[in-house]
């Protein structure tokens, strides 16, 4: 299949392009480089040895994006493009609603015009809010704790309603838990600009000496050791889950968790990282972060039943691959 991957130069998008190309699909990437750069595109080519098409475009721009639909025969879409920083979304809610919703609506208008009926959407476990764990796809969603999470809930609704109005359309909403790690080559990985919001890139930058210590946001949660528990999933497992989703699409809409089903605390992740990479990660306990929840991990039965997919890589693999990328990666302008 010829798959349009929006945000395909980004962290999860680029790893997914590798998995698609290695599974024998063709890839068209649309990305505006607002949170990525051409180094990821070079790495995709180097790692796979395969060609792909690229359009530097903001997905919300109808006529600019239409070029990809008129010049390429698109069979399906995997939609990653969107702003994704929780804290930033609280400061700039209008930018988040405008960009994240307009991108999806524009894309669907083009799918309708060019009769593209296969769609996989990058959603997030954040839609579950502070609900009952393990999170299962059928449970009621709690209000998201930030505008970023709200845009995921709203995009899921837009896609469900579009699928109801267009019976030939097939969409799977993939709810990711906490993607971490990197391709084992060390050529591609998570490279946040500025101070990392997320835990793993912060740990790798401390290990590299770019930051003096990790601040653990609270150790008084009702968890195994008081620190936040999350379902970390290797980005390559996540990428392979997208290939399975694209290949298992059925008419209508469906929603599937992509997680490991295993919860790991902040301190457990730090210790695993130190052990696997034989390196120290100094840390201190800091106050809780606004909007954080104590526990978040997936019920993974549906992914196995519907996609024939389950995560294969463990926390040690995630720590090893994340560190491998950090060591290889030149950090400009910290």
Footprint on this chain of ligand WQD (rule: CB under 6 A): 84, 86, 124, 126, 178, 197-199, 202, 215-217, 228, 230, 266, 289, 292
* Catalytic annotation, pick one of 96, 128, 148, 221: 148
Three-class DSSP category at 119: strand
d(CA 96, CA 55): 22
Q: Looking at beta carbons only, is 274 or 292 nearer to ligand WQD?
A: 292
Contact (CB, 8 A) for 1 and 118: yes
Q: Looking at beta carbons only, is 126 or 329 nearer to ligand WQD?
A: 126
Q: How far is the CB of 292 from ligand WQD (least distance, A)?
A: 4
d(CA 211, CA 116): 46
Token pair belonging to 250: 């059925």
Q: Looking at beta carbons only, is 14 or 124 nearer to ligand WQD?
A: 124
Token pair belonging to 117: 């009926």
The residue number with the shortest CB distance to ligand WQD is: 228
Distance of CA 3 to the CA centre of its chain: 17
Contact (CB, 8 A) for 249 and 170: yes
Q: Looking at beta carbons only, is 219 or 247 nearer to ligand WQD?
A: 219
Does 148 qualify as catalytic in the annotation? yes
Q: How far is the CB of 238 from ligand WQD (least distance, A)?
A: 11
Query: DSSP assignment of 156-198, as one string?
Result: HHHHHHHHHH-TT-EEEEEEE-EEE---TTSSS----SSS-SS
Three-class DSSP category at 279: coil
Kindly tell me the sign of the dihedral angle through the C-alpha atoms of 133, 136, 139, 145: positive
d(CA 240, CA 242): 5
Q: How far is the CB of 297 from ligand WQD (least distance, A)?
A: 10
Q: How far is the CB of 318 from ligand WQD (least distance, A)?
A: 12
Q: How far is the CB of 200 from ligand WQD (least distance, A)?
A: 7
Q: Looking at beta carbons only, is 21 or 120 nearer to ligand WQD?
A: 120
Three-class DSSP category at 27: strand
Q: Looking at beta carbons only, is 114 or 215 nearer to ligand WQD?
A: 215
d(CA 258, CA 194): 28
Q: How far is the CB of 322 from ligand WQD (least distance, A)?
A: 12
Catalytic residue list: 148
């Amino acid at each position: 299949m010829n798959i349009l991957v929006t945000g395909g130069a980004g962290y999860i998008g680029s790893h997914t392009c590798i998995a698609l190309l290695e599974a024998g699909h063709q890839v068209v990437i649309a990305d505006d480089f607002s949170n990525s750069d051409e180094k990821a595109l070079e790495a995709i080519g180097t790692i796979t040895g395969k060609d792909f098409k690229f359009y530097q475009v903001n997905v919300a721009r109808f006529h600019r994006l239409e070029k990809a639909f008129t010049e390429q025969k698109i069979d399906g879409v995997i939609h990653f493009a969107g702003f994704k920083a929780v804290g930033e979304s609280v400061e700039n809610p209008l930018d988040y609603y405008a960009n994240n919703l307009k991108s999806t609506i524009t894309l669907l208008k083009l799918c309708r015009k060019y009769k593209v009926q296969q769609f996989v959407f990058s959603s997030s476990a954040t839609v579950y809010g502070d609900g009952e764990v393990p999170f299962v796809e059928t449970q009621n969603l709690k209000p998201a704790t930030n505008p970023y999470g709200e845009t995921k809930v709203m995009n899921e609704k837009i896609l469900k309603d579009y699928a109801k109005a267009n019976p030939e359309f097939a969409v799977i909403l993939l709810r990711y838990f906490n993607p971490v790690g990197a391709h084992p080559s060390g050529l591609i990985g998570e490279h946040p600009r500025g101070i990392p919001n997320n835990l793993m890139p912060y740990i790798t930058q401390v290990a590299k000496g770019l930051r003096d210590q990790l601040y653990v946001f609270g150790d008084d949660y009702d968890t195994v050791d008081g620190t936040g528990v999350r379902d970390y999933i290797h980005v390559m497992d996540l990428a392979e889950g997208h290939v399975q989703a694209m290949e298992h699409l059925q008419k209508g809409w469906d929603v599937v968790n992509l997680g490991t089903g295993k919860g790991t605390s902040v301190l457990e992740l730090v210790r695993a990282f130190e052990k696997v990479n034989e390196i120290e990660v100094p840390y201190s306990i800091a106050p809780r972060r606004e909007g954080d929840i104590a526990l978040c991990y997936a019920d993974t039965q549906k992914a196995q039943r519907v996609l024939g997919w389950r995560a294969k890589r463990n926390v040690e693999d995630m720590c090893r691959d994340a560190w491998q990328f950090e060591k290889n990666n030149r950090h400009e302008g910290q």
